[in-house]
Amino acid sequence: MTKQSLSGQDHDMSTSHELVEVGDGIEPTGDIQVGRARPIPRISIQAFCEDPQFTQVLQVAAEDRRLTKAHVSVHMGGASAAVAHYQESPTPNLIIIESSLPRAALIGELDKLAESCDAGTKVVIIGHLNDVILYRELLKRGVSEYLVAPVSPLQLMESLSNLYNNPEADPVGHVFAFIGAKGGVGSSTICHNTAWTLSEALKGNVIVADLDLAFGTTGLDFNQDPVQGIAEALASPERLDEVLLDRLLTKCSERLSIFAAPVILDRDYDISADACDMVIDVVRQNVPFVAIDMPHAWTSWSKRILTQADEVVITAVPDLANLRNAKNMVDFLRASRKNDSKPHLLINMTGVPKRPEISIKEFEQALDLKVLGEIKFDSETFGQASNNGQMIEEINAKSEAAATFRDIALAITHRRETRVEKKVSALAGLAPLLEKFKFKR
């Protein structure tokens, strides 16, 4: 979603029922049939309402089986409350605004909202006006759906389902691939901490997929011991659907699940690039953010993932072999991803006493790339985190490394710094109504 429009794609109005013009107005036609709505993926939905009746509709929908994976929170205050809220907070995957404002006032509020909307956020409006001019204005601004109240829970769910299950629509999830320029440079640690920050600070739903099948550390780092995981999916990718995916994932926190590696050595792990593609496609249909923890390997499937990912994060330590490998990787990615953003480069484990180092500046010059962040060598904090199965922010939230993980999370999701810090004052007037929805699962 751009700052100018209210949705990732302008004209993304995938209405579930035909809208016909009646004089000055528009009317939904066709019966809503029970069961047409498909399950809605693990997205976060925030609603801003004026009418208590609509909050009841939301409550019924939020408790429906089709929304069990989504996080729904409801606030009162309508469009103006949404505008105030998102000046201080990141926007979720979907914003629902129920408003009885007249046309010009509603459009005015939406234009203000557009200024603080993050990429990928969709907006659905529930209005009280059967007004075709308003409808067209909303379309122009990239609103995904306009429904005229009163709306039934099924009608609402069907509209939401169409937004996320339309095969022509963009897949929900963004894929971030994390790889080390050499083995043991801290790429997995950075992947896991960034994913955790994404789920905690940015309130995004994340799946960490561990593709280091023989030696992966995702289970250890999140203090989990999963029985099944990603190897089962890769062995028969055609069987993977949202039901099987749910069984194979291990839930670590409200918003973070891991797709763990088996880490047993009595099998061979010859993955095919096509199997990887199929598995990642299913995962990204079900969650907004997928962080792939890649082993330090260069195979047909690892190249495919790096080429296809939305963002690539390379971790290097400041020595010559890392500089050479990082340069080779960046050159490969530049050539194979001509229209994509550049890979992100992190220099990890700097400042080891008495060890000669290649400077950040030299990295930047050699790779023609701005380094996203530097993480100092800190054996105490990192050692404690990895031995306890904890994240750096849990051990020391004020550490420089924790701030760097937030920077990485913001960079790969293309968000602005100030939006992470939620200022309570801005929320005070909103009176979150149905807090219990937030923690349904």
Annotate each residue in 137-176 with x if it binds Mg ion (CB under 5 A) or - if it does not, as one string.
----------------------------------------
Q: Tell me which stretch binds Mg ion (CB under 5 A): 86-94, 187-195, 258-266, 392-400.
A: 187-195
**Cβ nearer to ligand ATP, comparing 165 with 381:** 381
- Which parts of this chain interact with ligand ATP (CB under 6 A)? 180, 183-189, 212, 215, 217, 295-296, 348-349, 375, 377-379, 382, 386
Give how many residues touch Mg ion by CB under 5 A. Answer: 1
Q: Which of the choices Mg ion, ligand ATP, none does residue 378 contact, using the CB cut-off of 5 to 8 A by kind?
A: ligand ATP
**Cβ nearer to ligand ATP, comparing 40 with 349:** 349
Q: From CA 222, how far away is CA 250, in angstroms rounded? A: 10
Q: From CA 355, how far away is CA 115, in angstroms rounded? A: 47
Is 193 one of the binding residues for Mg ion (CB under 5 A)?
Answer: no
Q: Which of the choices Mg ion, ligand ATP, none does residue 429 contact, using the CB cut-off of 5 to 8 A by kind?
A: none
Looking at residue 203, the DSSP 8-state letter turns out to be -
Residues 6+ apart with CB under 8 A from 295: 211, 212, 213, 215, 216, 302
Is 218 one of the binding residues for Mg ion (CB under 5 A)?
Answer: no
**Cβ nearer to ligand ATP, comparing 163 with 256:** 256
Residues 6+ apart with CB under 8 A from 345: 314, 316, 326, 330, 363, 367, 369, 371, 372
**Cβ nearer to ligand ATP, comparing 95 with 346:** 346
In the complex, least distance from residue 379 CB atom to ligand ATP, rounded to whole angstroms: 5
Q: Which of the choices ligand ATP, Mg ion, none does residue 282 contact, using the CB cut-off of 5 to 8 A by kind?
A: none
Cβ neighbourhood burial of 94 (10 Å; 0-12, 13-18, 19+): buried
Q: Tell me which stretch binds Mg ion (CB under 5 A): 162-170, 185-193, 228-236, 419-427.
A: 185-193
Looking at residue 228, the DSSP 8-state letter turns out to be S
Q: From CA 288, how far away is CA 412, in angstroms rounded? A: 12
Cβ distance 97 to 79 under 8 Å?
yes
**Cβ nearer to ligand ATP, comparing 279 with 375:** 375
Q: Which of the choices ligand ATP, Mg ion, none does residue 377 contact, using the CB cut-off of 5 to 8 A by kind?
A: ligand ATP
Q: Tell me which stretch binds Mg ion (CB under 5 A): 143-151, 180-188, 258-266, 320-328.
A: 180-188
CA 23 to each of CA 20, 26, 131, 325: distance values in angstroms, whole numbers, following the listed order: 10, 8, 9, 66
Is 188 one of the binding residues for Mg ion (CB under 5 A)?
Answer: yes
Tokens of 338: 């001509």
Q: From CA 174, how far away is CA 311, in angstroms rounded? A: 8
Which DSSP string do the residues of 285-319 spell out, in sequence order?
A: HH-SEEEEE--S---HHHHHHHHH-SEEEEEE-SS
Binding region for Mg ion (CB under 5 A): 188
